[in-house]
Amino acid sequence: MPIPRLIFVTGKGGTGKSTIATAIALINAQSGRRVLLLDVQRRSSLHDALGVEFEVGKSVKVKDLPLDVLSIDSNDSFLDYLEKFYNLRIAGSLLKSLGAMEFATTTAPGLSDILIVGYAANAARSNEYDLVVVDAVPTGRFEKFITTADALMDMAKSGPIFDQALLVKEEIEADTTSVIGVTTTDELAEIELVEMIEFLREKGITLLMSVLNQSIEASVSLGQPNYPELNEKQTRALIETMTLLLEKTTRSQRLKEELTGITPLVAIEEYPRIDESALQHIGKEIIKGWKSL
Amino acid sequence: MIENLLKDIHTEVIVVCGTGGVGKTTLSATLALRAAELGRRVCLITIDPAERLADAMGLDELGNSPRRVHLPLAKGTLDALMLDAKSTFDSLIIATLGVEDGTKVLANNFYRNISTSLAGTQEYMAMEKLAQLREDQHNTWDLIVVDTPPSRSALDFLNAPERMNRFLGSKLLRALISPQNPVTRIFNVGVNAIVALLSKILSSTVLSELKDFVVLAADVFDTFAERSNRTYESIANNKTAFVIVSTPRSDALQEAAFFAEQIRADGLRLSHFIMNRISRADMPIEVLSDKALLAAYQKEHAKYRAQLENIREFSKHHTADVVLISESIAQVQDVDDLRLLAAQLSPNWG
């Protein structure tokens, strides 16, 4: 499999896709690749973990690393688009002052998505970066998001939008572009992941791997029902905690079995605090899993 | 205590926000159930609940209009509905324009896209649904609990009308609808140039579909704008309380902080944080003959302490009452499960 230069990370809300995307970007940058981490949902949390200031539309460099983080807004990419393809920065500003930007991105279906996906595709093609990691929309919206070019090509049969959409489509379907799906042991998250994988297969989009986040593997049993060393509260806490833990372990195992044959899978254990060191650990685990594929 | 909020007859609307995946929908149902048990006449608006939750409330399905949830032991009542953004939008179009013009709009390609896939439609329609329910409220309900669509921003929900108004009020849109309007004539030279540019970018077919849509639906937009402003005003006061749901993970808490700041900045009333899925390993255990078990427990206890530490740190910067809900593995199966969750709203040591 060729080394990807564009990776989209998606998953059900709350599965930790931002964390996974950030970890992948960080670990690649630490090994010397020039990386752009693109955040399409304008979340501040991953900026905090990387210790950089959050500002929509402004790319910030992570200290001492070839890593840029950008929270992208469709209006920014619209301006960028006008400048790149029409040399129309001034017209862009004029449009902005008239409220036309919102107008266009609000009304034209998929325009906002195509601008964002297009921005990612252009950045991946450019010589500025070796890898672009997109912290993408949740799986519920991902199918529309990733195939926005198809919809747009359908509407605009020719013209600059069509050309731009075609470029984006080619980049998305290239084998240097791939998707990473994130799930937890949550049943709904798993269902969404499996549906998305099927969809990607139909569309000929590469799935690099899936990540089982917050996986639990406890190999203990509760054993005897009473614990003379413990008081009542401790016994309750122990039994409740272990019951939960064992159920989660069972779920993790079942999920791994269910996903075998559907997708390569890397399991990541739960980190209550997502700081730089947690991100590094997660990144290393993913790289390790990736290499073993 | 959050029960005081639920009981308080002056609380007319509770808006539950939070990012996706934190258990917002289940906790909205829990709050609604508890309020009904405490004697309120409650209506719950849910957004895209898991089928299980509808089952749990004893409903075959949650429709777009409120249905009674059977609660024999409650002093009050609970009705629940599931927001169907498209059909809410459709019925508004028909109600405003009448059947003939309304049907044309429903068939327009542009409208079809907007009503199903436009980001913000769900938020906007949630506001619209709230407006409809508010009109009936004093006759039927004394509390409406709103489970907001999962979004990155608490204000996506509240600002939906404002965004729509800004869009509808844009000079460009007005010029598109009535290019011959004398007031805008001077302005039109510039507008025409921009329309030409837009049609180059969007292609002329797209633009003409849009024009048809805008001309047909102009009245609807005006009605929407007016209604949504009224709704916003009706909830931007002390009768509406905002509750933020989060998990104790640091990334989720950062999102919660973001929500809290926005709610405060808008001068709205932030009443509680609900911290969901707290580890159950809440007691320190030092000695246990089974060493493997001890180690596994201690790891979980360390996680519990890290979670509390995260919450403590969070509470330094964001003041509102905090409710802790313990983690449970099982999905909510029936009303009794919701009741078990509800029991955690009133900690018995309080």
* pLDDT of A97: 60
| Torsion angle in degrees (nearest 10) through CA of A146, A148, A150, A156 | -160
A272 to chain B, any CB pair closer than 8 A? The answer is yes
How does pLDDT run across B2-49, given as a tens digit for each residue?
Answer: 999 999 999 999 999 988 778 888 999 999 999 999 999 999 998 766
**What ipTM goes with this model?**
0.79
A104: nearest CA partner in chain B: B198
Instruction: List the single residue in A188, A222, A244 with the smallest CB-CB distance to B280.
Output: A244
Query: Which residue type occupies B110?
Result: F
Nearest chain B residue (CA) to A107:
B114
Tokens linked to B103:
């049907």
Rounded alpha-carbon distances, angstroms, from residue B281 to A240, B274, B305, B347: 8, 19, 9, 17
**What is each CA distance from A234 to A243, A249, B114, B248, B284, in whole angstroms?**
14, 22, 55, 22, 7
Determine how many CB atoms are found less than 10 A away from the CB of residue A69.
25
Residue B245 to residue B212: CA distance in whole angstroms = 42
Nearest to B203 among A103, A156, A233 (CB): A156
Q: Is the pTM of this model over 0.90?
A: no
The β-bridge relationship of strands A60-61 and A67-71 is antiparallel
pLDDT band at B84 (very low <50, low <70, confident <90, very high): confident
Mutate to test the interface with A, among B285, B286, B301, B340 (most CBs of A within 10 A): B285
The amino acid occupying position B21 is G
- Alpha carbon of B185 to those of A9, A98, A276, B172, B189: distances in Å? 49, 15, 58, 12, 8
pLDDT of residue B331 exceeding 80: no
Q: Residue A253 corresponds to which amino acid? A: Q
Partners of A44 on chain B (C-beta within 8 Å) are: 254, 258
User: Which chain B residue shows the shortest CA-CA distance from A251?
Assistant: B329
| CA torsion angle A81 A85 A89 A90 (round to 10) | -130
Residues of chain B positioned with their CB less than 8 A from the CB of A219: 292
Q: Which residues of B touch A137 (CB under 8 A)?
A: none
Across B261-271, average pLDDT: 91
Distance from CA of A103 to the nearest CA of B (A): 6
Residue B274 reports pLDDT greater than 50: yes
Beta bridge partners of B78: B42, B69
**Distance to chain A for B306, nearest Cα, Å:** 7
A&B contacts, CB < 8 Å:
178
CA-nearest residue of chain B to A247?
Answer: B329
Please report, in tens digits, the pLDDT of each residue of chain A (293 residues total). Answer: 678 999 999 998 888 899 999 999 999 999 999 999 998 876 656 777 788 877 777 788 888 999 999 887 666 666 666 666 555 555 566 666 655 566 566 555 456 777 788 889 988 998 899 999 999 988 888 988 898 888 777 766 777 777 878 888 999 999 999 999 999 988 889 999 999 999 999 999 999 999 999 898 887 777 766 788 899 999 999 999 999 999 889 989 999 999 988 999 999 998 878 888 999 999 999 999 888 87
Q: What beta strand segments (E) does chain B contain?
A: 13-17, 41-46, 67-69, 77-82, 143-147, 240-246, 270-278, 321-326
Q: Which chain A residue shows the shortest CA-CA distance from B282?
A: A237
Distance CA A276, CA A27 (A): 11
A275 touches chain B (CB under 8 A): yes
The answer to whether the beta carbons of residues B252 and B22 sit under 8 Å apart is yes
Mean pLDDT of the region B104-127: 75
Residue A109, amino acid = P
